[in-house]
Amino acid sequence: MGVRGELFTTDISLDNRTYFFNVKENRTGDVFLQVVESKNTEGSGFDRHAIVVFEDDMQKFLQGLETTLKFIEKNRKNRLKEAADRGDSGKKKFVRRSASGSPAGARGHASRSGEAPDRGEEQAKKPARRVKVISKKDLKKD
């Protein structure tokens, strides 16, 4: 703790990012929640984003979060059910990427007409990529 106004803090560390949940008090005594995402960048720094939820807005914020989480859970169950109906495992498929971040074995290819589709000037300069989808089970075999 130690930071002025900080009443409580907890963090969740994941692979390349950490989430902080800070309960703070400002100079006038108002209590608020600060949710911070801190992500390692390629260099030596961190990319940091924060949102602040004030005490007066907390109930509405939690209602919105709860509604969103219910949707995610319902959607997950529906996808699993649809996958079971298809005879699929319903699990996510992962793409193995090379050290440069592009999919392993990815090569540029042109459209049948030999021209890149009109996707804007910036995207037209980039070659199209093929992505080979590899299941998690296949990754473990290597």
Portions of the chain given CATH number 3.10.450.700: 1-58
List pLDDT tens digits, range 84-110. Answer: 888 876 666 666 666 666 655 555 444
List pLDDT tens digits, range 52-74. Answer: 999 999 999 999 999 999 999 99
Residues 29, 15: contact at Cβ < 8 Å?
no
Residues 25, 8: contact at Cβ < 8 Å?
no
What topology does CATH give the domain 1-58? Nuclear Transport Factor 2; Chain: A, (3.10.450)
Q: What single-letter DSSP state applies at residue 112?
A: T
d(CA 127, CA 120): 13
Looking at the whole model, is its pTM more than 0.75? no
